[in-house]
A and B are shown apart, each in its own frame.
Chain A
Amino acid sequence: MTTAPAQAPAIELVNAARWYGNVVAVNDITFSLGPGITGLLGPNGAGKTTLLHMLAGFLAPSAGTVRVLGLNPSRDPSVYRRIGLVPERESVYGFLTGFEYVRFNARLQGMRDADAASRVAIERVGLQDAAHRAIGTYSKGMRQRAKVAGALVHDPQVLLLDEPFNGMDPRQRLAMMDLLGEMAAAGRTILFSSHILEEVERIGTEILVIVAGRLAASGDFRAIRALMTDRPHMITIRSSDDRRLAVTLMSDPAVFAVTLHDSELAVQTAHLSAFRRIIATASRTAGVRLTEVSPADESLESVFDYLVHR
């Protein structure tokens, strides 16, 4: 009696790295993905596009291995029969109509009925009304949808999308998210990159967080989101008497640290929502007038930075 072999992951990176001279774009990343949607989250310049290009076979790893559907994508073009790629760059053949562009993709995939497949793909991205207009006349969101239609026309097993929601309006985003959700439910492996937390939150149940070329976190979105929310927050305060306010704040257990600068206070707390009440009470108790209270580190980059260094 033999047992069926465990199904190989659709995407697999083992200690994958990519550098250009002295610049390390992707640094020793290991992960594997099966069917479903995974969000690749990270600030601009983190290495997301490099990673996607490595998976798409357009950048060979400087070290480690990259496998897609068991094949090395940078050496074996036959893997493209089962991969769909939506690059970040907006450029598309502007002189082709949307339909011609999608059919071009279908024909190069060797599809027998490229016309029928193209019509289905155009319909799936909701581009029917503009299908016979030149892509050069499309809005950014329409171009994105045309690119997605071209990438999924051959019903790929793996879909790689680099910032796919760029330029789409909220309605188009929702429709695209639904489409990706349907494909994932049908057993496809979808990896999309984004630097916008809310985009990933909506559709990515699994996420990979990449910062400065390194994998900072991976796994269930909610667990990682909780880590992001519970991190220490830095708040900058200006008041009529910073020194007196600092003494009052230090007595509150929700406050980790207070640093007194020339014209402001820097306060660290783990409970951002509770802090609003704390600062109001503290200012009354100390008899101090607040002139400014602002979070100092709410950028996504600082959230990612926390994840890397925690």
Chain B
Amino acid sequence: MIHGSPRSPILALPEIFRVTVRQLLGRRRTLLLLLLAALPLLLALVFRLFDRIDVQRYSNSVFDGVLIAIVLPLTAVLFGTGAFGAELDEGTALYLLAKPLPRWAVVLSKAMAAAALTLLLTVGSILAGALVEVIPAGEMGVRATEAYVGATVVGALCYVAVFVAVSMFTRRALVIGIGYTLIWEGLLSSLLPGIANLSIRQYALGAGDWFVQLGREPARLPPETSFLLSVVVVVVALVLATWRLMRFELPGGTD
């Protein structure tokens, strides 16, 4: 029944990517994320309704205050924890793991699927808002858009990698992710500037500053530090996730 000699299973990784994307899109919470991602566009339309094109004000309040602070982490946490967490909860992970695939490749394709959807939603959200309220302002608007897209890409990759890894260690990854976003990044990092080195949001804002200074003041981390820390976070998270998957065991029981 073998049809031809087997080829490298790594070539089949797009299959995991495709199935993960379909799996994530099929969940009800994705609809909620779509509505959330539409917020910048709606707010841009409200700004235009009052006939005001104010790049700085719109960017700070909507891109920074809503998109980078809420929509991006929430989207990445939901997709990141769902990419593997759902399979572990539902028991379908067995079909994936009972295959002759290197574990790093499984982790990578799952993380890429979650990152692709996060980027699609969040970058799409920025571009939609920017087309209405930011880009019409001219070169300054284009550069601000580039900066927020850059910040979003860096943030999305970091959040997804971290929360794919967290979901491999605990079934409470979603709660931890939301807690991290709201308490650590939303509250503590504004009260304790010293913890910027441990805040993905600060990496994102720092990376955005590489294109153009986003806020009235420079971000807490310089762009170079932000990029470096982002790479470290992504690599460490994916290595930890792979390590965990290599030691994957089914939950205990007596049957």
Residues of chain A whose beta carbon lies under 8 Å from any beta carbon of chain B? 20, 23, 25, 44-50, 53, 56-60, 77-81, 83, 85, 87, 89, 91-93, 95-96, 104-105, 107-114, 116-117, 120-121, 150, 152-155, 213
Q: Answer whether residue B15 sits at the interface, using C-beta atoms and an 8 A cutoff.
A: yes
Which residues of the other chain, A, contact B95 by a CB distance below 8 angstroms? 92-93, 104-105, 150
**A109, B100: Cβ atoms closer than 8 Å:** yes
**B103, A117: Cβ atoms closer than 8 Å:** no
Q: Answer whether residue B99 sits at the interface, using C-beta atoms and an 8 A cutoff.
A: yes
Report the bound CA distance from A48 to B217 in whole Å. Answer: 64
CB distance from A195 to the nearest CB of B (A): 9
Pull 22 A–B residue pairs with CB atoms less than 8 Å apart, ordered by A: A20-B253, A50-B254, A58-B248, A58-B250, A59-B250, A60-B249, A77-B100, A77-B101, A78-B100, A91-B92, A93-B92, A104-B19, A104-B95, A108-B9, A108-B12, A111-B6, A112-B5, A117-B2, A120-B3, A121-B1, A153-B1, A155-B1
Report the bound CA distance from A109 to B96 in whole Å. Answer: 10
Tell whether A155 pairs with B2 under 8 Å between CB atoms, given A93-B23, A112-B7.
Answer: yes
**In the complex, residue of chain B having the shortest beta-carbon distance to the beta carbon of A152:** B1
Q: Which of B3, B98, B99, B254 has the most CB of A within 10 A?
A: B98
Report the bound CA distance from A59 to B247 in whole Å. Answer: 9
Report the bound CA distance from A235 to B196 in whole Å. Answer: 76
**A77, B102: Cβ atoms closer than 8 Å:** yes
CB distance from B220 to the nearest CB of A (A): 43
**A109, B1: Cβ atoms closer than 8 Å:** no
Besides the known contacts A25-B253, A56-B98, A152-B1, 10 further A-B residue pairs in the complex with CB atoms under 8 A apart: A23-B252, A25-B254, A44-B255, A46-B255, A53-B250, A58-B97, A80-B98, A105-B99, A109-B99, A150-B95
Q: Answer whether residue B90 sits at the interface, using C-beta atoms and an 8 A cutoff.
A: yes
CB distance from B107 to the nearest CB of A (A): 13
Q: Answer whether residue B16 sits at the interface, using C-beta atoms and an 8 A cutoff.
A: yes
Q: Which of A48, A58, A77, A105 has the most CB of B within 10 A?
A: A77
Which residues of the other chain, B, contact A108 by a CB distance below 8 angstroms? 9, 12, 15-16, 96, 99, 101
**In the complex, residue of chain B having the shortest beta-carbon distance to the beta carbon of A20:** B252
CB distance from A13 to the nearest CB of B (A): 17
Q: Which of A20, A111, A155 has the most CB of B within 10 A?
A: A111
Q: Answer whether residue B11 sits at the interface, using C-beta atoms and an 8 A cutoff.
A: yes
CB distance from B109 to the nearest CB of A (A): 10
Residues of chain B whose beta carbon lies under 8 Å from any beta carbon of chain A? 1-9, 11-12, 15-16, 19, 22-23, 26, 90-92, 94-103, 248-250, 252-255
Which of these, B22, B94, B103, B255, contacts A77 with CB under 8 Å?
Answer: B103
**A58, B249: Cβ atoms closer than 8 Å:** yes
Report the bound CA distance from A120 to B2 in whole Å. Answer: 10
**A48, B1: Cβ atoms closer than 8 Å:** no
CB distance from A26 to the nearest CB of B (A): 9
Tell whether A104 pairs with B15 under 8 Å between CB atoms, given A58-B249, A59-B250.
Answer: yes
CB distance from B18 to the nearest CB of A (A): 9
**In the complex, residue of chain B having the shortest beta-carbon distance to the beta carbon of A78:** B100
**B2, A154: Cβ atoms closer than 8 Å:** yes
CB distance from B240 to the nearest CB of A (A): 19
Which of these, B15, B22, B91, B103, contacts A89 with CB under 8 Å?
Answer: B91
Which residues of the other chain, B, contact A80 by a CB distance below 8 angstroms? 98-100
Which of these, B1, B8, B16, B253, contacts A117 with CB under 8 Å?
Answer: B1
**B16, A23: Cβ atoms closer than 8 Å:** no
Tell whether A113 pairs with B4 under 8 Å between CB atoms, given A58-B94, A93-B92, A108-B96.
Answer: yes
Which residues of the other chain, A, contact B4 by a CB distance below 8 angstroms? 111-113
Tell whether A112 pairs with B3 under 8 Å between CB atoms, given A58-B97, A58-B249, A213-B254.
Answer: yes
Report the bound CA distance from A152 to B98 in whole Å. Answer: 12
CB distance from B33 to the nearest CB of A (A): 18
Report the bound CA distance from A155 to B6 in whole Å. Answer: 12
Which residues of the other chain, B, contact A107 by a CB distance below 8 angstroms? 12, 15
**In the complex, residue of chain B having the shortest beta-carbon distance to the beta carbon of A151:** B98
CB distance from B23 to the nearest CB of A (A): 7
**B254, A47: Cβ atoms closer than 8 Å:** yes
Report the bound CA distance from A181 to B9 in whole Å. Answer: 30
